[in-house]
A and B are shown apart, each in its own frame.
Chain A
Amino acid sequence: MLLATLKSLRSRKLRLILSGMAVVLGVMFVSGAFVLTSTLAASFDNLSASVYSGTDVAVSGKAPVAGGEPDENSATVPAELVGNVRAIPGVEKATGVVSVSGARVIGSNGKVVTTSGPSRLGTSWSGTADLRQLRAGRAPRAADEIAVNASLAAAAGVEVGDRVGVLTLQPKKTFALVGIFGYSGNRDTIGGAQEVSFIEPVAQELMLGKTGVYSAIVVKAAPGVAPEVLRDRLSATLGDTYDVKTGKQLQDAAAESFREALSFFNNVLLGFAGVALFVGTFLILNTFSILVAQRVEELALMRAIGASRWQMIGSVLVEALAIGVVASVLGLGAGIGVGALLAYVFRHVGNADLPVESIEIPASAVISAFAVGTLVTLVAALLPALRAARIPPVAALREVAAPDRPLTRLTVAGALITAIGVTALGIGLTGQGGEATLLLLLGGVLVTFTGIALLTPMIARPIVSVLGLLFSWSVPGRLGRLNSARNPQRTAITAAALMVGLALITGVHVVLESATASFTKMVDTRVKADLIIAGEPGGDSMPTFDPAVLDRARQIGGVREIVGEYGDIAMINGRPSRVNVVTDLAAMTRMLPLRTIEGTLATLPADHVVVDAERATELGLRAGSTLQVRLARGDVRTMTVAGIYADDDVYRVGGWILPAEAVHDFRVAQPSFGYLRLAEGANAAEIRKQIDALLADSPEVTVGDRSAFIAQQSSQFDTILAMIQLLLALAILIAVLGIVNTLALSVLERTRELGLLRAIGLRRAQAMRMITVEAVVISVFGALLGLAVGSGLGAAVVRALKEEGFTEVALPWEQMGTYLILAVIVGAFAATLPAIRAARVNVLNAIAHE
C-alpha cells in the first residue's frame, strides 16, 4: 500500500511541487524570521559587550517622570556626585558623561538626518580612550565645535571644516565640524546610532538643559573588586535617589530593547508566514481534492481489491506528509537564506554596521519549520482524504461522470462558520474581549475567511457565469466560461486564495482611507486655523521649532492671532499623562472651538489646568478641584482645575492643557505645532512665504494650509501601505500558484476534451484563449470576493473605532479598481503555463482511448 502511494506520488511530481510551493513560502517566512532575529540578536550581543566593556558600574539619576517616553533625558546626576563616587573604596575611576538622544543634525541638503529607530545621541566628548577613535580632524575643544561619528557624517554629507546645524533642546545652533570618529573594531556606528559630540558644558546645556549635571557616571572598579560588589556598595552609599547598575545589567537591558525593536521585523515576517500558510492550506486542499477526484477509478479499484477505508485515508495522508516534509526542508533552507539575506541588508543598507559574524540557526527555526510545514499540509489534506475513503468500490466498474455534489451541507457549514467568525470579530472589535481581544480579532478574521471560502462555491456558479458573459463573444471565451463554472468548489477554493490576500489588503486600505477621510472632515469642520505649522509625525522625537518664530510671525501684517502648542509627559496624581501647553488658550478656543462645560476656558492663570470631560469624570474632578502635577524638570506642584471642556470637541489638543509658563519645566521647551488665524482679506500665500522664511532654521516643520496639513499628517500611512503592498505581492504570488495549479490539473483532467476540440478544428491560439478566459474569470471572481469581504471587514473595524474618531467610512475606489485590473493581469499570467500545455496537447494521444 505504502509502495503504491509513493509510486503514485512520484508520477505526479509537478502538481505536488506546485501545491507544496505555498507551504515552502510559509515555512520560509517562519524560519527566516527566527534566523534573522537570532542572528541579529547574537551580533548585537557581541557589539554591546564591547560597548560596555569599559563600564563596570554606572550611576544615573532617577527620572521624575516615569513611563511613557524614554525617561533618560530628564534624569540627571549632579557633577559633585562624581567626587563622592571617586571617594568610595574600590572605585578606580569615575567619569561623568552626557549621552542623551535628541541631537538632530541638519544635513548638507538642509534636511534633518532621519533615523529608522536607532538613537540620535548628543554626547560629551570624553577623549578617544576606550571606544571612540578619531578618523579625521581633531577633538572638539571650543563651545562651537563638534565631532560626529562616521556614519552620521556620511548620511549628512558633511566633512571636517563644514559648518553644521544641530537641533537639540534648543533651536538650531551652528557648529564647526572639527572631527569625525569611529569606534573600536573599525565601526562607523554602534548599531546604527548617530552621535554628535560637544565639549562637556555645551553637551550639558543642550542635551540636559543646564550645566553642572551629567546623565550618568561611569565607574571602573579597582582590580580585584567585582562589579556586583561595587554596585551594592555604591547604591548603599548613594541612597535610592540614584540608579546603580553593572555594565552587564546595562548590556542586558540594551540587548532586551534591541530584541524588542527586532520583534517588529519578527512579527512582520510571521504575519507574512501566516498569510502564506493560510492561503497555502486552500491550495493544498484543492490539489488533493482534484487528485482524489481524478483518481476515483484507481482508488475504487484499490477498494475493490480489498483496501480498507483507513488505508485510503492513510494513502492520501502519507502523500500529504511526504509533501509537507519536503516543503519544510525546502522552506527551512530558503528561510535560512532569507534570514541571512535580511541580516546582510540590515547591516549594509540599514547602515546599522552590525558585525554579523555568523548566521545563527536556532532550534526554534528548525522545529517550527517542520511543525508548521507538515501540520498545515496534513490538515489541508484531511478533507480530501476522507472523501477518498468514501469512494465506493463499484466506481471502478462503471464510468461515473462525477455527479455534482449537493452544496447544501457545505453552504450550511460555511454560514455557521462565518457566523462564528463574525461574532468573534464583533466581540473583539467592540472591546468586550478584554485580554483575548487580539486573539479574538485574528481568530475571527481567519474563521470568517474559512467560512466565506466554504460559502463561495454556492455563489461561484452564478457569479462566474455572469463574469464569463464578458468573454462570451468568442467560442473559446464561451468554452472557458463554461469550464470555470463547471466545478464550483474547485473554482471557489482557487479564488479563495486570491480572496484572502486581497481582502486583507483592502481591509487595511479601507481603515486607512477612512482614517484620512475622518481626519480630513474633522480638520475641515473643526479647525478654524488658516495656516498650520507642523512636522511629520513619527520618529524618535517630536518635531519642534524655535519658539521665537511665534513672536516674529505675530508681527507679520495680516496675521490676526497665532497659538503655539507644546507637548510633554507629566505625572498627574502619580500617573504619567500627556500634557499640552498652548500659548493663548482664548485664541485656541477660537481656532479649535472647545465647548465649556464647567468653569472657564477664557483665561488660564498660573498653576491652573483645563481638562476634557472624559478625564475629569474618570478622576472625579470638577472646576476648582486640585491635583498633583510633576513636570519633567520641576518639582511636584499643586494645580487647580480652571475649566472642563466637552470631550466630543476634542480634535487633537486632547486631555490636559497647562498654562504657558509650565513650558519652562517641559523636557523640550519648543513648540510642536503653531496655529494661525489671518485677518479678512489677508494674502495667505504671501504670509505663508514669510513664515517659511522664519522657519528656515527649523527644518523639521513646515507651514501650510489645512489641506497641506492633512496631507502631511496622513503621510505616516505611507509606511503602513508599503508593508501592505509587500503583503499584496506575496498573496498574489501564492494566488498565482493556486490558479496555475488548478488550471494545470484541470487541463490534465480534460486532456481528451482538449484533444477532441483540437480534432474538430480548435486552433492552438484558441485553446490558449479558452484557458486564459477560465483563469481570468477565476481570478476576477476571487478579486471581487476579496474586495467585498475586505471592504466589509474594514468598514466593521472603522465602525468599531467610531469612538476613536473614525467618523467616516471611506472606500479606496481607485486602489480597488487597480486591484481588479491586477487580478485580470494575474489571471492571464497564471494561465500562460497551463495554456501552453493545453495548446500542446497531442490530439492523437488525447483521443486514442486508454
Chain B
Amino acid sequence: MPTTTTGPPGAEVRQDATVAARAVDVWKVYGSGEAQVAALRGVSVDLGRGQFTAIMGPSGSGKSTLMHCLAGLDTVTRGEVYIGDMLVTGLGDAKLTRLRRDQVGFIFQQFNLLPTLTAQENILLPLSIAGRKPDRDWFAQVIETVGLGDRLSHRPSQLSGGQQQRVACARALVARPDVIFADEPTGNLDSRSGAEVLGFLRRSVRDYCQTIVMVTHDPNAASYADRVVFLADGQVRAELYAPTADAVLNTMRRLDTDPVDTSQTVRA
C-alpha cells in the first residue's frame, strides 16, 4: 500500500475520547466482475472531536462514499467504521436509524428540507421524530447564530438557497449530534451565501465544540476547516492542518501532477 496516513500526534490511540468518528482500513467495492469499481481502497482516518475536517479530492475519488460510510448511510465492503466508540459496521437498520437520529447530523448539497414544513418545523424535525423536547435556550442560540429569527414561519419555497442551507445547518446543529456530515453544502450557493454558511459552521465548531466533516471542491471552503484530508483513487493521499486556500490549491496541484508519490502530511 503506497499510502500512509498520519494524524496529529496522539491520534493513533484507539478508543481515544477525542475521536468522534473513525475509519479503519475501509474498502468499498461497487458492482462485481468486470464492472467492479473500488471506490475506497483501505482508507483509515480518525476525525477528531470538536474539529472541522474537510475532505477534498478530484471527482470520483470517493469523497462522498467515504462520508456515507462514516455516517452509517452505506455499508463498507471491508474494514470498520466507528462513531464515537460505537462500532457502526454491521449494525441493523433499527440501530442505524437511531444512530442517525441521535448521533449524526446531515447537510446536503441540495434538497435538504421538507417542502411541507416551515423553517422552524424543519429545524425541529429530528427532535420531533425522536420524541425529544427541544432545549429552548439552545434553539434560540442556534437561530441567533444562523440569523433566521424572522424567517422561521416561512416554507422552504419562500426562502433563498442560502437561507435554506442555513436552515439545514440549524437542523443539523439543534440536535447536538456527535458528528455533522456535510456533502458539498456550499456547492449550490454563490460565494457570499457560501461564506455565510461556512462561517456559521466554523463558529459552531469553535463556540460549541461541534464536530463537522465536510466534503468540498472549493479550496476557499476548505480553508475554513481545521484539517483537510485529500483523497485520490479511493485512498488518502495527503493531509493539511490549519490550511489556507493557497496551501490547499498547491496540494491539489501536486496531487494532480504526481498522483502516486505525494503521501505526506503538510503543516501549513
Contact = CB atoms under 8 A, between A and B. Distances in A.
Contacts of A843: 73
Interface of B: 64, 68, 73-74, 93-94, 97-98, 100-102, 105-106, 108-117, 125-126, 128-131, 157, 171
B126 to A, nearest CB: 5
B112 A756 contact: yes
Contact of A401 (B64, B126, B157): B157
A753 B94 contact: no
14 contacts: A475-B125, A486-B115, A756-B113, A757-B129, A758-B100, A760-B100, A760-B106, A760-B125, A760-B126, A760-B171, A761-B102, A761-B129, A843-B73, A847-B73
Given A401-B157, A848-B64, A849-B109, A758 B97 contact: yes
A757 B129 CA distance: 9
Contacts of A766: 129
Contacts of A531: none
B68 A761 contact: no
A761 B108 contact: no
Nearest to B181: A759
B116 A849 contact: no
B116 A759 contact: no
Interface residues of A, number: 23
A483 interface: yes
Nearest to B157: A401
B74 A762 contact: no
A479 interface: yes
Contact of A761 (B110, B113, B130): B130
A764 B115 contact: no
Contacts of A752: 111
A849 B187 CA distance: 12
A763 B116 CA distance: 19
Contacts of B105: 760
A849 B110 contact: yes
Contact of A759 (B64, B106, B110): B106
Contacts of A761: 97-98, 100-102, 126, 129-130
B129 A475 contact: yes
A310 to B, nearest CB: 33
Contacts of B111: 752-753, 756, 847, 849
A482 interface: yes
A401 B106 contact: no
A482 B116 contact: yes
A759 B73 contact: yes
Contacts of A757: 114, 125, 129
Nearest to B99: A761
Interface in A481-504: 482-483, 486
A757 B114 CA distance: 8
A87 interface: no
A764 B97 contact: yes
Which of A752, A753, A756, A759 has the most CB atoms of chain B within a 10 A radius of its CB? A759
Interface of A: 401, 475, 479, 482-483, 486, 752-753, 756-764, 766, 843-844, 847-849
B97 A847 contact: no
A273 B215 CA distance: 58
A752 B64 CA distance: 17
Shortest 5 CB-CB distances between A and B: which pairs? A761-B101, A482-B116, A475-B128, A760-B126, A761-B100
B129 A760 contact: yes
- Taking chain A's interface residues, is the majority helix, strand, or loop, or is none over half, making it mixed? helix
Given A761-B102, A849-B110, A483 B116 contact: yes
Contacts of B109: 849
A479 B129 CA distance: 10
B213 to A, nearest CB: 15
Nearest to B131: A475
Contacts of A753: 111, 114-115
Nearest to B98: A761
Nearest to A839: B93
A483 B93 CA distance: 25
A486 B68 contact: no
A757 B116 CA distance: 12
Contact of B114 (A756, A758, A764, A848): A756
A762 B114 contact: no
Contacts of B94: 763-764
A847 B114 CA distance: 13
B68 to A, nearest CB: 6
Contacts of B113: 756
Nearest to B68: A844
A511 B96 CA distance: 57
A844 to B, nearest CB: 5
A753 B113 CA distance: 8
Given A479-B116, A843-B73, A847-B108, A764 B125 contact: no
A759 B100 contact: yes
A760 B113 CA distance: 11
Nearest to A404: B157
Contacts of A847: 73, 106, 108, 111
Given A760-B125, A847-B106, A849-B111, 16 more contacts: A401-B115, A475-B125, A475-B131, A479-B116, A483-B116, A486-B116, A752-B111, A760-B101, A760-B129, A761-B129, A761-B130, A762-B97, A762-B101, A763-B94, A763-B129, A847-B73
A608 B16 CA distance: 116
A753 B115 CA distance: 9
Nearest to A403: B157
B243 to A, nearest CB: 27
A192 to B, nearest CB: 61
Nearest to A401: B157
A495 B121 CA distance: 28
A757 B125 CA distance: 9
B114 A763 contact: no
A118 to B, nearest CB: 62
Contacts of B102: 761
Nearest to A485: B116
Nearest to B128: A475
A754 B241 CA distance: 37
A757 B171 CA distance: 12
Contacts of A849: 108-111
Given A758-B97, A762-B97, A482 B106 contact: no
B31 to A, nearest CB: 15
Contacts of B115: 401, 486, 753
A475 B130 CA distance: 9
A843 B157 CA distance: 23
B67 to A, nearest CB: 11
A761 to B, nearest CB: 3
B175 to A, nearest CB: 8
Contacts of B73: 759, 843-844, 847
A841 to B, nearest CB: 12
A401 B159 CA distance: 12
Contacts of B129: 475, 757, 760-763, 766
A802 B112 CA distance: 62
A750 B73 CA distance: 19
A758 B108 CA distance: 14
A763 B74 contact: no
Contacts of A401: 115, 157
Contacts of B112: 756
Contact of A764 (B93, B101, B106, B117): B93
A753 to B, nearest CB: 6
Contacts of B74: 844
A843 B101 CA distance: 13
Nearest to A486: B116
A400 B73 CA distance: 29
Nearest to A482: B116
Contacts of A762: 97, 101, 129
Nearest to B96: A843
A597 to B, nearest CB: 70
A23 B155 CA distance: 40
A698 B102 CA distance: 80
A571 B225 CA distance: 106
Contacts of A763: 94, 97, 129
